[in-house]
Each structure stands twice: as C-alpha cells, then as structure tokens.
Structure 1
Amino acid sequence: MKFLHTEFLIARHFKKSVFKNPAVFIITIFIGILLLYAAFSGWENYTNQNETSEKYQHESRKDWLNNPDKNPHRMAHYGNFAFRKSTSLSVFEFGMEPFFGNAIFLEAHKQNTANFSEAGFSNSMLRFGEISIAMVLQVLLPLLIFFLGFNSIAYERENGTLKLLLSQGISWKQLLTGKIMGIASVIMLLFIPTVIILVLVWLALQNFNISVDETLKMLLFIVFHFIYLIFFCIIAVLISASAKTSKKALISLIGIWLVFTIILPRTTQAIGAYLYEAPSKIQFNSDIEKDILKQGDSHNPNDPHYKAIKDSLLTVYKVDSVQKLPFNYSGFIMTEGEKISSNIYKKHLEELLKIYEEQNSFSKAVSFLNPYIAMKNLSMGLSNTDYDSYIDFQKQAEDYRYDMAQKMNGLQIKYISNKKPGATDKPLTIDKEHWADVDEFHYEPKGIWDVLKSEIISIISIILWISLLFALIRIAAKNLKAI
C-alpha cells in the first residue's frame, strides 16, 4: 500500500505541474474539439452512406421485380446491384473505406469490381486522410503523450531534484511508475470522455439493439486502444529517464513518433508492393478473357467445346436438332458458359489475392517493429474497414451474381421453347413473377472470430510490445543513474 501511495503522489504531482503550462490546456482543448468533430463527421458519413446504400439497394430490387414478362436470359443481362453497408464501428475508424467502392453491378458472364468510392467523388485532400476518432487516438494522442512526458524525468535530472527524490527513499521503479501513471491520468481526461461518446453514438446507431458480436468488437476496440496509449506513456518516461537533457529526450521522442506513424507505414507499403508486384486491372481482365476464349465461347454456335456438348446431347436424346430437345438448349449452354467463366474468374482472383496477401503479410510482419501498424490493422479489422472486408464483400457479391445468373438460366431451360418465334409471333418470355425467385442482396460483415483470426499477428504484436516495455521498466529501475 505504501508503494502504491508513493506512486499516486508522484502521479498527482506530475498532473498538477503539467497543467501549470498554458500550452497543455490549449493542446488538450484542441484535441478535444478534434475528437468531437471526428465523432460528428463519422456519424454524418455513416448515416449518409448507409441511407444511400439502403435507398439504392431497395430501388435496384424494385426495378428488378418491376421488369415485365421477359426472356430470363435478358433478365440475367439486365443485371442487379449489390451495395455494401457500413458497420457501426466504421463511425470511429474509416480505414480504407473511403477508397474502396461500395456498389457492384452484377450481370451474366461478367464480374465487375466495386465502384462509387468516396475518394472517387472527392478532391485530392482526401489523400491526406480524414479526421476520425481512431486517427486522433492512434496518431495525435501519442504525440501529445510525448509532449507531456519528454521532460518528466529529464527535467528532474537537469535541475537537480532527481538526486533529492532518490535520496528520500523513492526507488527508480516507483518514480517511473508514478510518472507513467501521471501522464496516463492526463490522457484519460481525453480518452474516457471519448469512450463515453463512442459508446453512446454506437448504441444510438443501432437503436440500442446490439449483438454479442458487435459488443465484443467494441470492447476490444476500447481495450486495445487503451493498451496502445499506455504503451506510449511508458516509452515517453523511459526515454526521458535515459536522456541527459529534456531537449535530447524531446528530439528522440519526436523521431520515434515520425518513424512509427509516418515513415514505417508508408515505407512498408511501398516495399511490399515492390517485392510482390500485382498485375494491373487491364492485365488481370485480359488474362481472364484469354483463358475463357481458350475454354470456349458460349455465344459462338461453332465453338469446338460447345459443339461437342451439342453433339453429345443430340446423341443422348436421340434427336437430330436442338429444337427437338426436351429442354431449352440455349439455356443449358449459358449455364455451362457461366460455370466455366465463373471458375476461371475465381482462379485468377485467388492468384491475385495471394499476391495482395503477401503484400499485407509483409506489412503485418513489420508490426512486430511498429505497434502503430499493429493497432491500425486491428482497428480496421474490428470496424470492417480493412482490405479483407472489401474482398469479403466482393466474394459475397460474386456468389450472389453467379446464383442470379444460374437461376435465370435454369428458368430458360425449363420454360423457354427451343423453337424460335416467327417474325409476327410474340417473343419467348416467362411470367414476371419468376423474378422474385432471386432474393435481394444483403451484405454480411465479418464476425468477431474471423476478425481475430485474420488479425492474430497484430494482437500478438501489441501484447509483446507492452510486455517488453514492462520488462524494460524493471531493467531500467536497476540500471538508471541519477546523473
């Protein structure tokens, strides 16, 4: 109890001395205003995007169902839309969401990519990053921590009070711990209100109807950001304790901040992209088209692959023309063509994703050297604004597109006659009630266990970093000198 009492006294004294500096008040208020603005802009962005996505998803569904009697193959080409709604935690962590599209046009025989990203409709300032609560917590608060802690012990050494403190029976461990607690107590004046606002906004967005999955994501979001901030409090005090002067401590801490939050993240992205080069979009689509043409063109009646299918069907059903088959031949061929093109697309996509996974794995490996990258990756994963979530949306949309196309082909096989109508005959169609056989698209974000599985490296990295720093406190307490 005496040990804790001493630590609390040191922490309280540090907190009082910090607020004697008017600059601390100004910076704290400024960051507080930024946090409020980030919460407001995140709320506005979330509600606008989800209202827009929901509106156009329903309009797309309405347009689909309101189509008149039509040939089902025409309906497959008429297509549909898949929209991605944001999750509630994306209010606080924008991640890669502004740069990824949130809508995909789905049609037969063709796989499109997501379009209509926020960056596509914004000016170049978006490239400098938007102000989100996560950005303030991960980038600006560590800088504030370093500003508060650079002279926490170095100043005591400079003015001679460090010797006096240690001579009065205060141990290095007590001093280091007390200073860390003092910096943390100042930061909590911003962090705790932020958490309260964060939780209230999160609850309001879900109408206070929360799931276990979302609750776990929210708790992990708060806990890991708290650990992350304590990490920087420890670094600030350790650097200050080892520096001969406050000036040297400040320069060292600013250097660490620049390396962690700016230099390393951009460098690792560039190196990862260089080491594991991905094909361009044009090359990717071109390679798919080449493989499809090698396999066969379902729209070409003289294509060798599909001609062989035709001959085998005529033999099996013992007829001399496709018009005499008991099912629609064209629909059968379209089903085969859709299956082949979809499998080829998935094969190429998997190869591309392996390259991107190697790029991302390089960045994740560097998180063992940089806790900021680990925290950023985990934060984006929990809020479903990371690259994996975008790919998951693409895959869900592709599964829906394939199912839609094959259902239309199935209707054509079953209901459309092989006999072509005459010039004055009514076109071959089916009743529009069949369009309801295709369900409306609904995007399902990744669950908590999938997120933890994909971000296990980030979690291990953060735990290892904080464990290492606590170990360094013990080592420093035994080896630091007053002079």
Structure 2
Amino acid sequence: MSLHNEILIAKHLNKAIFKNRAVPIIIIFIGILLLYATFSGWKNYTNQKETSEKYQHESREDWLNNPDKNPHRMAHYGNFAFRKSTSLSMFEYGMEPFFGNAIFLEAHKQNSANFSEAGFSSSMMRFGEISIAMVLQILFPLLIFFIGFNAIATERENGTLKLLLSQGVSWKQILLGKTLGIASVIMILFIPIILVLLLVWMLLQNFTVSADEILKMMLFILFHFIYLLFFCVIAVLISAASKTSKNALVSLIGIWLLFTIILPRTTQSIGAYVYQAPSKIEFNSAIEKDILKQGDSHNPNDLHYKAIKDSLLSVYKVDSVQKLPFNYSGFIMTEGEKISSTIYNKHLDTLLQVYAKQNSFSKAVSFINPYIAIKNISMGLSNTDYDSYINFQKQAETYRYDMAQKMNALQIKYISNKKQNPTDTPQTINKNYWADVQEFQYEPKDVFTILKNELLSIISIALWIGILLFLIKIAYKNLKAI
C-alpha cells in the first residue's frame, strides 16, 4: 500500500510546526531537561550502588569479625540487608525514593526498611525528582498536544481542509499523515535520548548485560514508544473533531490534566479511603498481642513453654532441663522464633491484601488512563514499584529467620544446659561458625514475573490500541470538512 499522500501530509505538518518559533525552543528545553535527567539518574544509581555495596560489605565484615560468643547473643547482634538498585532504576525512580533500602535483621523481631532518599530530603524531593520516565510520561504528551492541537482544526478554520478533500485525499490519509507528522517531531527527541540511554546503561554495567535485563530494556522502550503514539493519535482525533483550534487546545489540556494529575491522585485517595490500612503502631501492636497470647519464650514460667518443658522431660525421662541431651534454651528459642515469624507473616499477608485492594483502583483506572498503565509497567520493569519493595521485605525476612534458626541450632548443639557459677565465663562457641550464615543477596524479580504482575496494565495498553484504531475508523467515516 502506497503512503505517498500520507508522507506528503506529514512533511507539510512538520514544516508548519517548525515555523512556530516557540517549538524549537521548547524542544531544546526538553532536550536539556532529558540530558539533566540522564545525568541525575546516572549519579543517583551509582551513588545507591556504591553505598549499598559498601555498607553490605561492612555489615558482613562486622558479622564475621565477632569474637567467640554465645550463638543467641549473635542472633540478637543481628545483621543488615541492603536493597541494591537495578540498572533501569536510573530511568524510572518510581517509589524508590520513598521506600527504605536497608533492614536491620535480628532474632524475634521483624523490622521494616529504613533510610529512604525522601526521608533525608527537602520538600522538593518529596514532590518528586526529574527522571527520564517522568519526562517521557508527562512532558512529552504535553508537547505532543501543543504541536498537534491545530493539526486539522486550523485547516478547517482557513478552508484548506475542504480543498484538500476535494482533491481526492481521504480522511483516512489525512488522519494518518497528521499522526506521522506529529510523531516525526517527537522522534527528533525520542530516538537520540534512547540511544544515549542505551549507551549509559551499557557503560554502567561494563557492557555485560544479562538476557533478562536486555528484555526489560527493550520492553521499556517499546511500551513508551506505543504510549507516545497514543497521544499523537489523540491529538489528531481531537483536532479533527474540533471546530476551532482554540477548542482543540482547551480539550487536549483538559485530557492531559485528567490523565496525568487528576485521575492518578484521585484513585490513590479513593483506594486509601475505601480500604483503610492500619498504622505502623497498630500493626506492630496487633502482632505483639498475638505473640503474647502464644506465650513469652524468654519467660520460664510462661504456661505455653512450661507445657513444652514438661513434655520434653517426660519424653526423655529426666527431672530437669539440665539433664536433656541438648540445650533447652536453644530449643525454646527455636520454637519461639517459629511462632513469632508465623504470626508476623500472617499479619503481613493481611496487610498486603489491604494494600492490594487499594492498588486495585489504580489497576482498574489504567483501562481508561494510559498514563497509569505505562507508569505501572515502567516501575515494574525498573524494579521500583511497590511489589518490588515487598519482595525485598520478604527476602530479608526469609534471610532473618534462617539466620536466627541457625544460631538457635548452634546453641542447641554446642551450649551446655548446666547452670554456670557467677564467676564462670559465659559459654561460647568458635567464631568460625558465623561464616555458616551466608551474606544476604537481594534478587530482583525477573521479567516474566513482572509481566505477570502487570498483566492488567499490559491488557489496558492493548485495549487502548484497539480503542484508538476503532475511533480512527469511525472518524474517517463521519468527519466533515466544515
């Protein structure tokens, strides 16, 4: 199929756009903003990576350099888990500045992540940093609407549209040609910035990139390209349906405000209002109450643990815990860790269900708002979404539980039950056992897990493609020149 007329229309629109002196200035400004966002993202990523690696190494050294001591004391001494940023996070900050990236891990207690970027920043930081994704998702659509609002409306106003149609050019060719014309202007910025991003992305990883990361980057580029085409089509359709260019501009600005500002904030507020989550204090208090109902493993007179002691004495046919063939205190700590961890995970799962219901509003609105859909996909691919944060919390909790239970197992095996005299030195084991606890390694979600989690957003993108194609078909059949 020949696109001769469409290409001519696109070239004509391209020239008309650049006759407006404001357009080159705006493009240069956004180009500078993109370069700044690239530099800022590169600096942020390298700082995060260096900081997390430094303190993860120091935490590991501190753990290994502990002297001979009681394993239970080591379990309370604790360790740290650090969340390393992924390479794509330099393009999309997502929720990363507002979530912590370090968790202190200790026996019998589950802590939340701390030390977020926003926690140490000014109010401007809390509003949001300038990232590549922010420019692509918010400023680019505004630029598209600015250069595309008069694509067809102006020709209707000055009478050239009627002349064009009388010469045998169809509405289908006009709509496609105008869309290509707007897209060609946007590609002047989009293509160079993608090439720069790819270069910086490769440099950050010393040109050693896994297949999973390559696929994430390709999807990041593809979805943003489709997203920008959406707005090119929307601009042309609104311009074609408007009587005047002024009406088209007002309509497009309204759509931009609705998509990028009003709907995202409204849905978040509605979700939080309808499905109210407990505060951190309420959450921790509920856990403490349930643990106390099960018993206090540090209290020798606790009824629950006294029953365990009596059953052990009966099974091993001894009259005191000092005569048991293993360390009784370590056994009780193991049981207490199981109980507290089970209760914590139960409450956490309940809390996550509340948050999932809150986020369901955002997922649902993505079907009528491509901005929310692309934001969810972008954050998922860059590992800066809420699910990634929860994934980090769960990995850290698994590591914490294994660490505590390994220390309890060492106490059971190597620490005697015999009570010490006040003058005796504390019972200890060799510090070489500390190396049995492996260093924490955070593993980000793979691309297929991300696509599964963001299936609704992907479906909404596909649905938007279908809707816009349908609207184009209706438009070229029903639009009039006047």
| CA displacement, residues 429-478 of structure 1 (integer Å, 9 cap, x when unaligned) | 00000000100000000011110010000001011112211111111000
Output aligned runs, 1:96-245, within 5 Å: 96-245=95-244
Superposition deviation, residue 423 in structure 1: 2.1
Superposition deviation, residue 127 in structure 1: 2.4
1:261 equivalenced with 2:260 (yes/no) = yes
Query: Which is further off, 200-209 or 103-112?
Result: 200-209
Q: Distance in 2 between matches of 1:199 and 1:238?
A: 33
| CA displacement, residues 223-275 of structure 1 (integer Å, 9 cap, x when unaligned) | 00000000000000000000000000000000000000000000000000011
**Counterpart residue number, 1:479:** 478
| CA displacement, residues 93-135 of structure 1 (integer Å, 9 cap, x when unaligned) | 0000000000000000000000000000001111221100000
Task: Give runs of ≥4 in structure 1 deviating > 4 Å.
Answer: none
**Counterpart residue number, 2:444:** 445
Output aligned runs, 1:331-350, within 5 Å: 331-350=330-349
1:405 equivalenced with 2:413 (yes/no) = no
Superposition deviation, residue 206 in structure 1: 1.4
Q: Which amino acid aligns with 2:316?
A: Y
What is the root-mean-square deviation of aligned Cα atoms in Å? 0.6
1:9 equivalenced with 2:20 (yes/no) = no
Return the TM-score normalized by structure 1. Answer: 0.99
1:38 equivalenced with 2:33 (yes/no) = no
Q: Distance in 1 between matches of 2:83 and 2:331?
A: 32
Superposition deviation, residue 421 in structure 1: 2.0
Q: May I ask how many residue pairs the two structures share in their alignment? A: 482
Q: Distance in 1 between matches of 2:122 and 2:314?
A: 62
Q: Distance in 1 between matches of 2:230 and 2:423?
A: 79
Q: Which amino acid aligns with 1:119?
A: A
Q: Distance in 2 between matches of 1:334 and 1:173?
A: 74
Q: Distance in 2 between matches of 1:173 and 1:166?
A: 11
**Counterpart residue number, 2:21:** 22
**Counterpart residue number, 1:371:** 370
Query: Which is further off, 244-253 or 15-24?
Result: 15-24
Q: Distance in 1 between matches of 2:197 and 2:350?
A: 39
Q: Distance in 1 between matches of 2:273 and 2:120?
A: 28
**Counterpart residue number, 1:325:** 324
Q: Distance in 2 between matches of 1:258 and 1:290?
A: 46
Structure 1 regions of 5+ residues with no counterpart? Answer: none
Superposition deviation, residue 420 in structure 1: 2.2
**Counterpart residue number, 1:432:** 431
**Counterpart residue number, 2:303:** 304
**Counterpart residue number, 1:382:** 381
Q: Distance in 2 between matches of 1:8 and 1:38?
A: 33
Q: Which amino acid aligns with 2:324?
A: L
- 1:284 counterpart SS class: helix
- 1:237 counterpart SS class: helix
Q: Distance in 2 between matches of 1:249 and 1:116?
A: 46
Q: Which amino acid aligns with 2:441?
A: H
**Counterpart residue number, 2:246:** 247
Q: Distance in 2 between matches of 1:93 and 1:373?
A: 14
- 2:19 counterpart SS class: coil
Q: Which amino acid aligns with 2:171?
A: W
Q: Distance in 2 between matches of 1:371 and 1:126?
A: 25
| CA displacement, residues 275-334 of structure 1 (integer Å, 9 cap, x when unaligned) | 111000000000000000000100000001000000000011111100111100000000
Superposition deviation, residue 20 in structure 1: 1.1
**Counterpart residue number, 1:73:** 72
- 2:45 counterpart SS class: helix
Superposition deviation, residue 424 in structure 1: 2.1
Q: Distance in 2 between matches of 1:399 and 1:413?
A: 21
Query: Which is further off, 49-58 or 121-130?
Result: 121-130
Q: Distance in 1 between matches of 2:208 and 2:419?
A: 55
Output aligned runs, 1:414-425, within 5 Å: 414-425=413-424
Q: Distance in 2 between matches of 1:205 and 1:462?
A: 30
Structure 2 regions of 5+ residues with no counterpart? Answer: none
- 1:19 counterpart SS class: helix
Q: Distance in 1 between matches of 2:206 and 2:86?
A: 13
Q: Which amino acid aligns with 2:394?
A: K
Q: Distance in 1 between matches of 2:357 and 2:123?
A: 29
